[in-house]
Chain A
């Protein structure tokens, strides 16, 4: 399968700081990437859809000014959690969609970023 990386894998920060998470598709171009959040023992919750060169589309209830998404190239999307608070502590996972070829429309997930806000 295709490879998606995320950085950092784990981050601990103080309340009020901002944290940037990078998501890269390593061996394919991804016009569409997705950002999810997962709390312990719960399923994935889609936060937003990130399209290269355009504004992200946020799911209902997700604050776009708090979770800033930038998809500047076909292989990189970033999620910035601004003014993080303890309730933002979660497992953040990106996925990237393959837009062509035999794996058309399949989505591959990055390894995730575990955020802890003190």
Chain B
């Protein structure tokens, strides 16, 4: 069973802090990983994609991938109350292009 695991949270951080969201996956052959943000009652919104080991930065967001440890993370710098949402980690595990989603981590940014 291919799985993606996330801590459900909530992760509470003060405004302006760095929020660190983590995800592990079971299939060592997985190639592509994605972070989505989902506000309550809305559909997921793609924030970052990462395909190779290392860091990928986009504005306040940095995705990190460590394939040896089967670990993906998302750092949000200068967290804002508007970042409060559920963050979904997803991995593409095979050539079907299907994504396996984690259960999501709820982030709360305190003003």
19 residue pairs bridging A and B, Cβ less than 8 Å apart: A32-B97, A34-B98, A43-B102, A44-B44, A44-B88, A46-B98, A46-B99, A93-B43, A93-B44, A105-B32, A105-B49, A105-B97, A106-B49, A107-B46, A107-B97, A107-B99, A109-B36, A109-B43, A109-B46
- Please tell me which one of the listed residues A97, A103, A112 contacts residue B43 in the complex, with CB atoms under 8 A apart: A112
**Number of A-B residue pairs with CB-CB distance less than 8 Å in the complex they form:** 45
Q: A1-B46, A107-B34, A112-B42 are in contact. Are A43 and B104 (CB under 8 A)?
A: yes
A residues neighboring B (CB under 8 Å): 1, 32, 34, 43-44, 46, 49, 57, 93, 97, 103, 105-112
Instruction: Find out whether the CB atom of A44 lies under 8 angstroms from the CB atom of B101.
Output: yes
Q: A32-B97, A46-B98 are in contact. Are A110 and B43 (CB under 8 A)?
A: yes
Residues of B85-104 whose CB lies within 8 A of A: 88, 92, 96-99, 101-104
0/1 interface trace, chain B 42-54, chain A, CB 8 Å (1 if under): 1111100100000
Report how far A61 CA is from B19 CA in the complex, Å.
37
0/1 interface trace, chain B 68-109, chain A, CB 8 Å (1 if under): 000000000000000000001000100011110111100000
Q: Please indicate the chain A residues that have their CB under 8 angstroms from the CB of B98 in the complex.
A: 34, 46, 49
* Nearest residue, chain A, Cβ from B4: A43
Instruction: Find out whether the CB atom of A49 lies under 8 angstroms from the CB atom of B97.
Output: yes
Number of B residues with CB within 8 Å of any CB on chain A: 19
Report how far A107 CA is from B97 CA in the complex, Å.
9
Shortest distance in angstroms between B23's beta carbon and chain A's nearest beta carbon? 13
Shortest distance in angstroms between A97's beta carbon and chain B's nearest beta carbon? 6
Across the A-B interface, give the 6 residue pairs with the lowest CB-CB distance, nearest first: A112-B43, A109-B43, A43-B103, A93-B43, A109-B44, A44-B101
Counting chain A CB atoms within 10 Å of each CB, the highest count among B34, B45, B49, B99 belongs to B99
- Please tell me which one of the listed residues A32, A43, A108, A111 contacts residue B46 in the complex, with CB atoms under 8 A apart: A108
Instruction: Find out whether the CB atom of B101 lies under 8 angstroms from the CB atom of A105.
Output: no
Report how far A93 CA is from B34 CA in the complex, Å.
17
Report how far A93 CA is from B74 CA in the complex, Å.
24
